[in-house]
Structures are given as structure tokens and as C-alpha cells.
Amino acid sequence: MSGHLTPGAGTVAGATPGAIHRANLQGRARRWLQFASPAAFYGPAGTLATLLLPLSLVLALVGLYIGFLVAPTDAQQGDAYRIIFVHVPAAWLSMVIYAAMAFWSAVGLVANTRLSAMMAGALAPTGALFTFLALWTGALWGKPTWGAWWVWDARLTSELLLLFLYLGFIALQAAIDDPRRADRAGAVLALVGTVNLPIIYFSVKWWNTLHQGASVSISSAPTIATPMLLGMLVMALAMWSYAAAAALLRLRCIILERERQAAWVARLAQGEHA
Amino acid sequence: MIGMLAWIVKRDLLLAGRRSADALGSLGFFVIACSLFPLGVGPEPAALRSMAPGVLWVAALLAATLSLPRLFSADHADGTLEQMLLSTEPLVLIVAGKAVAHWLVSGLPLALLSPLLALQFGLDSRSMAVLLASLLLGTPILSLVGAVAAALSLGARSSGVLVALLALPLYTPVLVFGAGAVDALGAGGGAVAHLLLLGAGLGFALALAPWAAAAALRIALE
Amino acid sequence: MIWLSLEEFLAMGGYGSYVWGSVLVTGGALALELVLLARRKRAALLAAAQASRRRQA
């Protein structure tokens, strides 16, 4: 696979004005831009994932060590509070992944690159999973601490709505047959959701403070001592590298499925099933 | 520009008038859905009074999502939508006009019917007035934001359910401030704040939603 | 080390089922995701191989 932007070599736009412009760029920029082609990114994506997965495991072990073997027991919540070492990073990740989804959606719409839109689609299921885990661990934290499996706390309710936004995105992409159209419709939806998220969060917070009697703030964690904060940060980094790896692996699957007719995929497949 | 808008609204109203069963259907759904809640929860007056704003608002949301697929599907089926895309008129205007017509046919009647249904729940007249105001301000937002969801699901499989799935999470702020306006009245004067927020939301939706829906339509029809 | 024994560690002050329920479900879900992705990749390659064989035939 040559590094030059020749039409028909799996590059983005063939002989459009965009490609001609890119061909006039400096050599270094051109070399980076070639990775906008799904075929060219397939390999590097795999390499990145192989680096990120072990990293996430190591970070997770360190984070769990800090959270479970170093951080002291809390005076009020006992050892139940240790769930925050999973709950809070998962919630953070659910929002970071949505932001990444929105970013790649915007890039895909503006620059009309296929790969960016495919990356947005690859991030969504992982994001939905982290949102679900945030809700699940939130419930398991709420039950011993506040006595109920579910409380209509502002953050948990917003997290639930975020899950619905993810599911809507996934459902929309699944319901449209043409992949390119699905990419772009999903991108618009992701951006509409991004604009709405602060509004949704604000409205839920407002609603929560109005109905103060029923609300218990799960977000009021015990006073953050340094080992607790460190543990949460390390776990967040661990989850971040896991999520990046999972999204890259899913991106590879999407590339294989979309480029199924291409020669390089056939060669790869035959190599595996020779 | 206003002329074009008025023309689109008149056209859509005329078409809706020819198939009045559709609009009356969603109105009927609104009435039935509201009436089901007391049957499910029990007729205790205090409970009904406290849940009335929420019930009416949720039923309004559901009725809106039921009527949304009709927004573009008829024009899409006979090719008019593609003509609209190709015309020199700004698509944003066409979408805005369609949303206005949709509100006039489904949202406005629903809002005007709400005092009658509020009687079923034993709301007092001040609460009814606030509820009416909140629905008058909120239902246009439902039509505008719903237009984006309808445009995105155009031509997709199981588009009816999909539109609801996409629109309902986006509707939550409208629900919170709409139903909350009536509750705030009971808690002692705060309804104005809610209604102002709804008004701000309407302005926001008027500015952004037609643009997003037009982009979604271009994607759906390319 | 703040735990005096393995039993104490597993019990988590009486909240063991909640804490370990969270950790294990999280780890299990993420591992499951990786397994499903591996399966998806294998299926995609299989489909591609079949498609190319059909083209050559």
C-alpha cells in the first residue's frame, strides 16, 4: 500500500478538490492524512489497542490496590464506599466517551472523512456500557448507604438519560441500511444530543432541588482524602485506556465489515483461514 | 420569506385537513392516556391532583411522538420532499413552516383541551391556567425538536418507534419545566420562572431545530 | 495493608456482596465486551473469505 493519495487505493476522496488540495500539502501532513483512510488505519489501530489493553490492566491493578488495600475505611459509610473506585470513574468515562463521540461526529461531518464517523459509531456501545456500569454500581452503592436501590439523585437521573441518548444513537445507526447515511445521521444526532446534555443536566438538577424531600445526594462522597482521589484517578485512567482499546478494536471490525469486498481484506481473511 | 413560511403552513394545514383522522387520532390518544392513569392509580383526589401536571405532560409528550412520523413521511413518499430540497427556497424555512403547521394541528388543540382533562384530576383554576400556559409554550418546542427526530428517522426501519426513542430523552427538559411550573404554583409562586425558562427554550428551539432538521433531511435524501 | 485477614477483605465490613458485586460485574462486563469483539472480528474475516472465494469461483 503506497503512501500517496492515488485514487482507488482505498483513500478518502479520489480526485475531488479536497484530494488535490491535500496532495499539495507538505509531505509530513500528507503522511498523517493518509491515515484518514480506513484501510491504512486498520494496522495502527490494532497496534494501539495491543498497547492500551495491557496498560489498562496494569493501571486497574494499581488503582484497585490503592482503593482496596491502601485507602482507609470510611467513618460514615464503612467499606461500602469503596464502590466509588468503580462507580465514579465509570461515570466520568461515560461522559468522556460521549464527548469523543461528538468530536469525531463533528469531524466526520465537516471534513467528510469516513473514518471519523466510523470511530464515533465504534465508541457508542462502549460508552453505553460504561453508562450502564455507572448506574449499576450506583445502585449497589445506594442500597447499603441510603437504603434504596434507586434514588432520583440529579446525577444518577442524568446518567440514565445519557444511557437513553446512547441507545438512541445505536438504534438509529442500526435502523439505517446504507452505512454512509447511518454514519452521518448518527453524527447529527450525537451533536444534537451534545447540545441538549447541559440542558438536560440543568433541568434535572433543577427538578431535583425542587423535590428536595425525596432527594438524597449520592454525589456527596466522603471527604476526599488523597489516597481516595488517587485511586479514583488511576481507575479512571485504566478505564480510559480500556475504552480507547475497545473502541479501536470495534473500529477494526467495522472497517473489515465495510471493506469486505476489498482485496486487502480478502488477503487478510485468507491468511487467517488458509 | 414570511410569504414562503405562510404558504408552507397553509399547505400543510390543508393536507392535514384532508386527513383529519390522523390529527384527531393523536388527540384521542391524549385523552385516553390521561384517563387511564386514575384507573391505574386509584381515584383518591389528593393523589390525582398532585400527579395531574405530570400525567398530562407525559401524555402530551407521547401524543407528540405518535404524530411526528407524519411530519415528513407523506411528502417523502410522493417525492415532494425532494422537490423541496432542490428548490431555491431555504430548506430551513420549509422545515420551520412544517413544524408550525404540525403544532397548529396537534400541539395547540392538545393544549386547549388540557383544562378539560385537568378537571378530571381536580385541579383548581389557577393551576389549570398555568398548565395551559406551560403547554402552549412547550408543545411548539415538542414540534420543533420532534422535527429533528423525524428527519433523522426518515426512511429508516421501524421509524415510528425510533422517532419516539430519539425524541423522548430530548424532551425531558420541556417535561421538567412544564410540569414543574404547576407544582411551583402550589409551593408558592415560582411558576413564572418555569414559564420563562420554557419561553427561552422555545426561542432556542426556534433558532436551532429547523437548521438541524434541515441537515438531517439532506442526509436522509442524498 | 489495612486488612487483618482474607476473610475481612472479602467481607468488606459486611458490605461484601455490594462491593464485590460492583467490581466483578464491571470486570466481567468489560471482559465480555472484548470476547464479543473478538467473535465479531472472526465473523467479519470469515464473511470476507467466503465472499472472495465466491468471486474466484
Mapped onto helix, strand or coil, the DSSP state of residue C3 is coil
Is A80 in contact with C13 (Cβ distance < 8 A)?
yes
Q: Which of A83, A136, A143, A149 to mutate to test the interface with C (most CBs of C within 10 A)?
A: A83
3-state secondary structure of A11: coil
Calpha distance C5→B179 (Å, rounded): 54
| Residue B41 in contact with partner chain A when CB distance is under 8 A | no
Q: Do chains B and C touch (3 or more CB pairs under 8 A)?
A: no
**How many Å separate Cα B85 from the centre of its chain?**
24
Q: Residues A195-212: what's their mean pLDDT?
A: 84
Q: What is the mean pLDDT of residues A3-12?
A: 45
- Tell me the shortest Cα–Cα distance from A79 to chain C, in angstroms: 5
DSSP string, B49-116: HHHHHHHHHHHHHHHHHHHTTHHHHHHHHTTHHHHHHHSSS-HHHHHHHHHHHHIIIIIHHHHHHHHH
Q: In chain A, what residues touch C9 (CB-CB under 8 Å)?
A: 68
Cβ contact (<8 Å) for B162 and A202?
A: no
- Alpha carbon distance A192, A194 (integer Å): 5
The residue of chain A with its CA nearest to that of B153 is A172
Is the confidence at residue A274, as pLDDT, over 60?
no
Please report which residue ranges of B121-152 form alpha helices under DSSP H.
125-152
Chains that touch B (3 or more CB pairs under 8 A): A
pLDDT for A194: 95
Q: What is the mean pLDDT of residues A37-45?
A: 90
Query: Cell digits for C26?
Result: 464491571
Residue C10: count other Cβ atoms within 10 Å of its Cβ: 11
Contacts of B23 (CB under 8 A, 6+ apart): B16, B67, B105, B106, B109
Range with the poorest average pLDDT among A35-39, A140-144, A153-157, A221-225: A221-225
Alpha carbons within 13 angstroms on the beta-carbon side of residue B83 total: 6
Whose grid coordinates read 470513574? A89
Backbone angles phi, psi at A28, to 5 degrees: -65, -45
Three cell numbers written together for B28: 384521542
Indicate yes or no: CB of A272 within 8 angstroms of CB of C45: yes
Parse chain A into domains and list their residue ranges: 50-255
Beta carbons of B169 and A164 less than 8 Å apart: yes
Per-residue pLDDT reduced to its tens digit, B11-48: 999 999 988 888 899 999 999 999 999 999 998 999 99
What are the chain A neighbours of B172 within 8 Å (beta carbons)?
Answer: 161, 200, 203-204
Q: How far is CA A36 from the centre of its chain?
A: 19
Look at residue A22 in the predicted model and tell me its pLDDT.
Answer: 57
Q: How confident is the model at residue C55 (pLDDT cuts 50, 70, 90)?
A: confident
Q: Is the pLDDT of residue C45 over 60?
A: yes
Which residues 65-94 in chain A show a CB within 8 A of chain C? 68-73, 78-80, 82-83, 86-87, 90
Query: ipTM of the assembly?
Result: 0.92
- Taking an 8 Å cut-off on Cβ atoms, the answer to whether B155 and A172 are in contact is no
- Pairwise pLDDT comparison (A131 vs C53), residue with the higher score: A131
Q: Integer distance in angstroms from the first to the last C-alpha of chain C? A: 66
Dump pLDDT digits (tens) for B93-110: 999 999 999 999 999 999
**Domain positions in chain C:** 33-57
A contacts of C44 (beta carbons < 8 Å): 253, 256-257, 260
- CA distances to B54, B60, B121, B158, B196 from B128, rounded to whole Å, are 13, 15, 10, 37, 17
Q: Are A105 and A190 in contact (CB under 8 A)?
A: yes
DSSP class of residue A147? S
| Buried b or exposed e, range A42-68, using 16+ CB within 10 angstroms | beebeebbeebbebbeebbebbbebbb
The percent of chain C in helix, strand and coil, each rounded to the nearest 5, is 90, 0, 10
Q: Which residue from B140, B99, B98, B113 is spatially nearest to B24, judged by alpha carbons? A: B113
What's the length of chain A? 274
Whether the pLDDT of residue A2 is over 70: the answer is no
pLDDT score of A216 more than 50: no
User: Cβ A210–B216 below 8 Å, yes or no?
Assistant: no
Bridge partners (DSSP) listed for residue A74: A78
Cα–Cα distance for residue pair A65/A245, rounded to 1 Å: 22
Contact (CB<8Å) A246/C2: no
Q: What is the pTM of this model?
A: 0.89
Q: For chain B, 222 residues long, give each residue's pLDDT as a single digit of tens.
A: 788 899 999 999 999 998 888 889 999 999 999 999 999 999 899 999 999 999 999 999 999 999 999 899 989 988 999 998 888 889 999 999 999 999 999 999 999 999 999 999 999 999 999 999 999 999 999 999 999 999 999 989 888 899 999 999 999 999 999 999 998 886 666 788 899 999 999 999 999 999 999 999 999 998
Q: How far apart are the first and last CA of chain B?
A: 25
Q: Could you tell me the three cell numbers for A70? A: 491502601
Cβ neighbours of A177 in B, within 8 Å? 157
Top residue of C9, C24, C45 to mutate, by most chain A CBs within 10 Å, is C45
Give the chain A residue whose CA is nearest to the CA of C35.
A246
Quick one: pLDDT band at residue A146, thresholds 50, 70, 90? Answer: confident
Identify the band that residue A6 occupies on the pLDDT scale cut at 50, 70 and 90: very low
**What pLDDT score was predicted for residue A4?**
45
**Is the distance from CB of A234 to CB of A59 less than 8 angstroms?**
yes
> Taking CB atoms and an 8 Å limit, are A181 and B220 in contact across chains?
yes
